[in-house]
């Protein structure tokens, strides 16, 4: 998240600096002539001290953000000798008050009031008011300046807090949007892998047979070519389905095409057998209850990926697929096939299949394990009946 300035001291623009110094000049222009008229001599040491300290007070204002309390005290005391310094002293006092910390406010306020009293003592103005009333007026004016500064500080802090909240909310929204995009990409990747890997592996297997086997009859070659054409067409159809139904072109909402269920596993097995694989399949589900769609879809994808892996890495072997379960025990899927022997088609490996299957199983509260068991490769999955 980007860093923001402190609420008590936001960065100053050129315009902000200009009107602050213009305000100091305006205050000095109102106060200084009054004292000039009250003096008997404006050419002596008093006048020189007045001008020098007044100009010095304007110069030290550049340091008020680095040393606000020090500059507030110094300009306040300078104003006790130079009415020209009244403007810088006012700005320094207001600047300190924006911090809304009582100790600096009290220290600077006392210094400002002391300077005003010194000015009344050394350069009195014949305004016809008793001294105590003039002192009270000084106290009221200084208190008003401090109060105005504290109001400015409070408003700055409110705006700074609102800005910080808005930036934090925007950053969190970006994180949520990024996560949503990542989840969607992962979902698309899984869907693409599940749909296309099965088709492409069959194309690769039959194409490899045509390339390396010289003993095929014309009928066998035509059959393999037909399977390649059919699977390629199905792969293109599946690809168009994935790309076409992920989002509604009008609403932009995610859509789902009809998803496979548990009953489609048998069709998947028959399709693999028709493609030349040897698959032994049996299913024993107690209670006669229909398998929930989400569970059936997960089982279908796992069987599909298991058959694809067996076709790629262990061609010519027999794949055993066993499904069992009940409402109480959940559903268990066991796939076994001998470790590969014979020619293997050179198909690229994505490395995402088994990882994606494990994620699918975890999403429905299940687990997936795979590995070697002697001379067999075993894929074992358990999924609760109601995730």
Sign of CA dihedral 19, 24, 27, 28: negative
Nearest CA to 281 out of 292, 272, 293 is that of 272
Distance separating alpha carbons of residues 121 and 118, to the nearest angstrom = 5
Distance separating alpha carbons of residues 123 and 130, to the nearest angstrom = 15
344 DSSP assignment = -
pLDDT higher than 90, residue 323: yes
pLDDT higher than 80, residue 12: no
pLDDT given at position 331: 92
Q: Cα–Cα distances in Å, from 238 out to 94, 146, 193, 309?
A: 72, 74, 11, 19
Burial of 301 (0-12, 13-18, 19+ CB in 10 A): buried
Tell me the mean pLDDT in the region 309-313: 84
Distance separating alpha carbons of residues 331 and 121, to the nearest angstrom = 98
- Which domains occur in the chain, in start order? 14-171 (no CATH), 260-387 (3.30.565.10)
List, for residues 77-116, the tens digit of each pLDDT value.
Answer: 888 777 777 888 888 888 888 888 888 888 888 888 887 7
Distance separating alpha carbons of residues 152 and 155, to the nearest angstrom = 5
Which residues, other chains included, contact 57 with Cβ-Cβ below 8 Å and sequence gap of 6+?
Answer: 74, 75, 78, 79, 82, 84, 85, 87, 88, 89
pLDDT given at position 106: 86
Cα angle: 9, vertex 10, 13; to 5 degrees: 125
List, for residues 115-144, the tens digit of each pLDDT value.
Answer: 777 777 666 666 656 767 777 777 788 888
List, for residues 37-80, the tens digit of each pLDDT value.
Answer: 656 555 567 777 777 887 888 888 888 778 888 888 888 888 87
88 in Cβ contact with 64 (< 8 Å): no
List, for residues 158-170, the tens digit of each pLDDT value.
Answer: 888 888 888 888 8
Nearest CA to 255 out of 184, 358, 181, 305 is that of 184
Q: Cα–Cα distances in Å, from 164 out to 9, 147, 169?
A: 15, 26, 8
pLDDT given at position 29: 75
pLDDT higher than 60, residue 341: no
Cα angle: 49, vertex 94, 85; to 5 degrees: 10
pLDDT given at position 320: 94
Distance separating alpha carbons of residues 153 and 161, to the nearest angstrom = 12
Q: How confident is the model at residue 155 (pLDDT cuts 50, 70, 90)?
A: confident
**Termini Cα distance of the chain:** 38
Report the percent of the chain where pLDDT is more than 90: 9
What's CA 384's distance to the chain center, in Å? 34
Q: 3-state SS of the chain: helix, strand, coil percent to 5?
A: 65, 10, 25
pLDDT given at position 279: 92
Phi, psi dihedrals of residue 258, rounded to the nearest 5°: -55, 125
Phi, psi dihedrals of residue 235, rounded to the nearest 5°: -65, -40
253 DSSP assignment = -
pLDDT given at position 250: 44
pLDDT higher than 60, residue 310: yes
Write the DSSP assignment of 136-181 as a string of letters: HHHHHHHHHHHHHHHHHHHHHHHHHHHHHHHHHHHHHHHHHHHHHH
381 in Cβ contact with 368 (< 8 Å): yes
């Amino acid at each position: 998240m980007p860093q923001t300035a402190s609420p008590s001291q936001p960065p100053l623009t050129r315009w902000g600096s200009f009107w602050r110094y213009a305000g100091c000049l305006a205050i000095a222009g109102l106060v200084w002539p009054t004292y000039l008229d009250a003096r008997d001599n404006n050419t002596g040491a008093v006048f020189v001290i007045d001008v020098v300290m007044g100009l010095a007070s304007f110069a030290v204002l550049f340091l008020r953000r680095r040393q606000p309390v020090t500059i507030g005290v110094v300009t306040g005391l300078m104003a006790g000798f130079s009415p020209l310094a009244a403007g810088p002293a006012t700005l320094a006092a207001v600047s300190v008050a924006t911090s809304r910390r009582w100790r600096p406010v009290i220290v600077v306020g006392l210094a400002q009031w002391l300077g005003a009293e010194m000015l009344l003592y050394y350069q009195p103005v014949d305004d016809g008011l008793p001294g105590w009333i003039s002192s009270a007026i000084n106290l009221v004016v200084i208190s008003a300046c401090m109060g105005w500064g504290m109001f400015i500080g409070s408003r700055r802090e409110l705006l700074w807090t609102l800005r910080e909240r808005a930036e934090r909310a925007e950053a969190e929204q970006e994180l949520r949007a990024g996560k949503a995009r990542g989840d969607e990409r992962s979902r698309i990747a899984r869907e693409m892998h599940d749909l296309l890997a099965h088709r492409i592996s069959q194309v690769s297997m039959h194409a490899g047979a045509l390339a390396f086997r010289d003993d095929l009859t014309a009928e066998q070659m035509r059959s393999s070519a037909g399977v390649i054409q059919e699977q390629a067409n199905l792969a293109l159809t599946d690809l168009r389905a994935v790309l076409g139904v992920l989002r509604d072109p009008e609403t932009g909402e995610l859509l789902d095409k009809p998803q496979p269920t548990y009953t489609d596993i048998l069709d998947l097995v028959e399709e693999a057998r028709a493609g030349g694989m040897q698959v032994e399949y049996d299913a024993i589900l107690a209670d006669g209850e229909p398998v929930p769609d989400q569970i059936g879809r997960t089982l279908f994808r796992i069987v599909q990926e298991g058959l694809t892996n067996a076709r790629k890495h262990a061609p010519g072997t027999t794949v055993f697929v066993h499904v069992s379960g009940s409402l109480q025990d959940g559903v268990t899927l066991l796939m076994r096939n001998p470790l590969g022997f014979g020619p293997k088609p050179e198909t690229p490996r994505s490395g995402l299949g088994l990882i994606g299957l494990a994620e699918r199983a975890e999403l429905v509260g299940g687990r997936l394990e795979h590995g070697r068991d002697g001379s067999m490769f075993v894929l074992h999955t358990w999924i609760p009946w109601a995730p």
